[in-house]
Amino acid sequence: MTDLAREVGRRRTFAIISHPDAGKTTLTEKLLYFSGAIQNAGTVKGKKGGKFATSDWMDIEKQRGISVASSVMQFDYRDHVVNLLDTPGHQDFSEDTYRVLTAVDSALMVIDAAKGVEAQTIKLLNVCRLRNTPIITLMNKLDREVRDSLELLDEVESVLEIRCAPITWPIGMGKTFRGVYSILTDTVLLFTPGKGPLDEVEIIEGLNNPRLDELFPLEIENTRMELELVRGASHPFVLEEFLSGDLTPVFFGSAINNFGIREILNALVDWAPSPGDANATVRTISPTEEKFSAFVFKIQANMDPKHRDRIAFLRVCSGEFTRGMKFRHLRLNREIAANSVVTFMAQGREQVEEAYAGDIIGLPNHGNIQIGDSFSEGELLAFTGIPYFAPEMFRIVRIKNPLKIKQLQKGLQQLGEEGAVQVFKPLNGSDLILGAVGVLQFEVVASRLANEYGVEAVFESTTIYTARWVSCEDAKMLDDFEGQLVNNLGRDAANSLAYLATSRVNLQLTQERWPKIVFHATREHA
Ligand code: GDP
What CA–CA distance (Å, rounded) separates 495 from 526?
Answer: 10
Q: How many helices (H) and strands (E) does the chain have?
A: 14, 33
Condensed to tens digits (0 to 9), the pLDDT of residues 12-44 reads: 999 999 999 999 988 988 888 887 766 544 444
Amino acid in the structure at residue 234: S
Q: Which residues pair with 313 in a beta bridge?
A: 298, 362
Q: Is residue 22 lining ligand 1, measured as CB closer than 6 Å?
A: yes
Atom of ligand 1 nearest to the CA of 47: 8
506: left (phi over 0), alpha (psi -120 to 50) or beta: alpha
Q: Which residue positions form the known binding site?
A: 18-25, 86-90, 140-143
* Residue 286 banded pLDDT, cuts 50, 70, 90: very high
Q: Which residue positions form the known binding site for GTP?
A: 18-25, 86-90, 140-143
Q: CA dihedral in degrees (218, 219, 220, 223; nearest 10)?
A: 130
Would you list the DSSP string of 74-103?
A: EEEETTEEEEEE----STT--HHHHHHGGG
Condensed to tens digits (0 to 9), the pLDDT of residues 203-236 reads: 999 999 999 999 999 999 999 999 999 988 889 9
Calculate mean pLDDT across residues 310-318: 90
Residue having the nearest C-alpha atom to atom 25 of ligand 1: 141
Structural domain boundaries in the chain: 16-58+92-271, 278-376, 390-524
Q: Is residue 291 lining ligand 1, measured as CB closer than 6 Å?
A: no
Question: Would 16-58+92-271 and 390-524 be classified into the same CATH topology?
Answer: no
Q: Is residue 261 lining ligand 1, measured as CB closer than 6 Å?
A: no
Find the 494 Cα to ligand 1 centroid distance in Å. 41
Give the largest Cα separation in the chain, rounded.
82
Atom of ligand 1 nearest to the CA of 259: 23
* Residue 50 banded pLDDT, cuts 50, 70, 90: very low
* Fold category of 278-376 in CATH: Rossmann fold (3.40.50)
CATH of 390-524, one of 3.30.70.3280, 3.40.50.620, 3.40.630.30, 3.40.309.10: 3.30.70.3280
Q: Supply φ then ψ for residue 520, to 5 degrees.
A: -105, 135
- Polymer length of the chain: 526
| Kind and range of the H or E run holding 135 | strand 135-140
pTM, two decimal places:
0.87
A 10 A CB-CB count for 355 gives 27
Choose one of 18, 24, 25, 26 to mutate for the ligand 1 pocket test, by most ligand atoms within 8 angstroms of C-beta. 26
207 vs 90, higher pLDDT: 207
CA distances from 401 to 398, 406, 455 (A): 9, 11, 8
Q: Is residue 143 lining ligand 1, measured as CB closer than 6 Å?
A: yes
Find the 94 Cα to ligand 1 centroid distance in Å. 22
- 461, with CB counted inside 10 A (0-12, 13-18, 19+), is exposed
A 10 A CB-CB count for 239 gives 13
Find the 51 Cα to ligand 1 centroid distance in Å. 18
pLDDT at 66: 34
CATH 3.40.50.300 matches 16-58+92-271: yes
The yes-or-no verdict on residue 65 having pLDDT over 60 is no
